[in-house]
Amino acid sequence: MATLVQEVDILRKIPLFSGIDPVKLKLLAFASERVEYDTGQNLFRQGEVGDAAYVIVHGVADIIVETKDGEIPVAEFKDNAFVGEIAILCDVPRTATVRAKTKLVVLKIKKEHFLGLINDFPELGIEVMRELASRLSNTTNELSETRRELEQSKSK
């Protein structure tokens, strides 16, 4: 069982939380829930209502988009990654499924605690926007490359 001090250290390793006052991080760690998932278990599914975000403490998770043709793995997150924030920030259904690729240990941060932290630390909101913008940029680049490859294969 991890101690509160260990969970604060985990949160401090997340770039998003690194500048937050240690007292606030301690409150966030206290309010978060440590959850373990076995390989193949879902943290959440695409389309569900977002009630929490997750910090991956240990393990690997697949990010999967569900399409009419089946599931498509689009990313993989490891230790110290922060996932699930889009649904709680934007009040939209989950945009992807997150599934444990290995045994996974996470800190589950409820929506109200995360939004309260952003309210108390507006700079955290800016960091969240930067992270989301970076992910969007990477996704756009990957889609552009895929489109280019498809067009090249059609012209052959």
Mean pLDDT of 105-124: 87
Mean pLDDT of 68-90: 90
Q: What is the pLDDT of residue 1?
A: 58
**CA separation for the pair 96, 18 (Å, rounded):** 26
- Could you report the per-residue pLDDT of 9-58, keeping only the tens digit for each? 888 888 777 777 788 888 888 888 999 999 999 999 999 999 999 999 99
- Nearest-CA neighbor of 32 among 56, 49, 50, 15? 56
Query: Higher confidence at residue 50 or residue 123?
Result: 50
Q: What is the pLDDT of residue 60?
A: 98
Give the pLDDT band (50/70/90) at residue 101: very high
With vertex at residue 87, the alpha carbon angle to CA 69 and CA 141, rounded to the nearest 5 degrees, is 60
Mean pLDDT of 59-70: 95
Q: Is the dihedral of CA 118, 131, 40, 106 positive or negative?
A: negative
Residue by residue, DSSP assigns 136-154 as HHHHHHHHHHHHHHHHHHH
| Residue 92 CB partners (closer than 8 Å, separation 6+) | 50, 86
Domain boundaries, the chain: 4-154
**CA separation for the pair 113, 129 (Å, rounded):** 18
Q: CATH homologous superfamily for 4-154?
A: Jelly Rolls (2.60.120.10)
